[in-house]
Amino acid sequence: MAFNLKGRCLLSLKDYTPQEISYLIDIAKKVKADRRAGVIHQRFLGKTIALIFEKRSTRTRCAFETAFGEEGGHPVFLSMNDIQLGAKESIEDTARVLGRMFDAIEFRGFKQETVNALAKYSGIPVYNGLTDEYHPTQVLADLMTIEEEFGYLKGTKLVFVGDGRNNMANTLAIGCSKMGINYLINSPRELWPSQEYINEIREMARENGSTFEVTDVPGEGLEGAHAVYTDIWVSMGEEAKRKEKEELLKPFQVNKEMMQRTGRDDTIFLHCLPAIKGQEVTFDVMEGKQSRVWDEAENRKHTIKAVIIATML
């Protein structure tokens, strides 16, 4: 089923229905197949996108630039050294100017309020390439990877092991609950999401026929998991907390023994990258036969292209 998403922003997956998310994944599968077959389109010919980066990036920048460029569009990279965003010029004024010159904006940075303001004042589609709160383009790629592996999403189980309140854990909670995936966070209690957020996600999961649980016992709740997911322990901007977080999270390393707790031979391992092998995940898991992190990384490009096709054309 097709949906008219033209003009829509992607600030959080909360703003999209399960059916709309499925639609985006279907488009992503099609553009991936076209790319593999050497089919060339120029759907973004004559279009421009502003790529604003407060935080460094490998996958997000490369995915947006190649997704847009392959379709004949012109991506313009803007770091904080290039523009006046929030410095000599207000975010609102920057948004108004960019909205007159570009067809879309991507923002990767710290505050969710910044990407929300860009969306409010620019008048064009704005895509959240990561904030401290959410990472929706990553989770679209994660959902696509799980569906490619198992053929379906509803009824699968995903366990996130690590910092249970970071942007990945937060956004996976939304994506899983929207798509009927049973989701569990395995994290130290000190790093749990707020009770308000837990209640909100549990209600979302209930509406879509799935569950959401949180546990602070390392390795607990992995039974039957189709996917085990982790992320780096210390995110950008948290360097001062490194020692404290590493000590808290040491028992939550994803290793061979933890993967075996699922009791499934077909469990896959996922990681949004970059990874510190030997810290949050062991080398043998990251590089082993259960790892799908490279498929997941590639799917960033295809899901981002799908989002732009659906919302800009």
- Asked if residue 242 belongs to a known ligand binding site, the reply is no
Give the pair of three-digit tokens for residue 286: 């990251």
Residue 226 annotated among the catalytic residues of the structure: no
Active site (annotated) includes residue 61:
no
C-alpha 141/C-alpha 158 separation (Å) is: 14
112 is in an annotated binding site: no
Residue 211 near residue 218 (C-beta atoms within 8 A):
no
Considering 8, 108, 226, 292, which one is annotated as catalytic?
108
Catalytic residue status for 56:
no
Catalytic residue flag (residue 176): no
From 8, 35, 135, 302, active-site residue: 135
Asked whether the beta carbons of 282 and 256 are under 8 A apart, the reply is yes
- Determine whether the annotation assigns residue 26 to a binding site: no
Contact residues for 129 (Cβ-Cβ < 8 A; gap 6+): 51, 53, 57, 60, 64, 106, 107, 108, 137
Is position 58 annotated in a ligand binding site?
A: yes
Q: Is 230 annotated as a binding residue?
A: no
SS3 226: coil
179 is in an annotated binding site: no
Q: Which of 116, 163, 155 is nearest to 136 (CA)?
A: 116
Options 138, 142, 176, 226, the catalytic residue: 138
Q: Which position has the token pair 């609950």?
A: 177
> Binding site annotation covers 272?
yes
- Tell me: is residue 264 an annotated ligand-binding position: no
Which residues are identified as catalytic? 108, 135, 138, 231, 272, 300
- Binding annotation: 57-60, 84, 108, 135-138, 167, 231, 235-236, 272-273, 300
- Binding annotation for L-ornithine: 167, 231, 235-236
- Binding annotation for carbamoyl phosphate: 57-60, 84, 108, 135-138, 272-273, 300
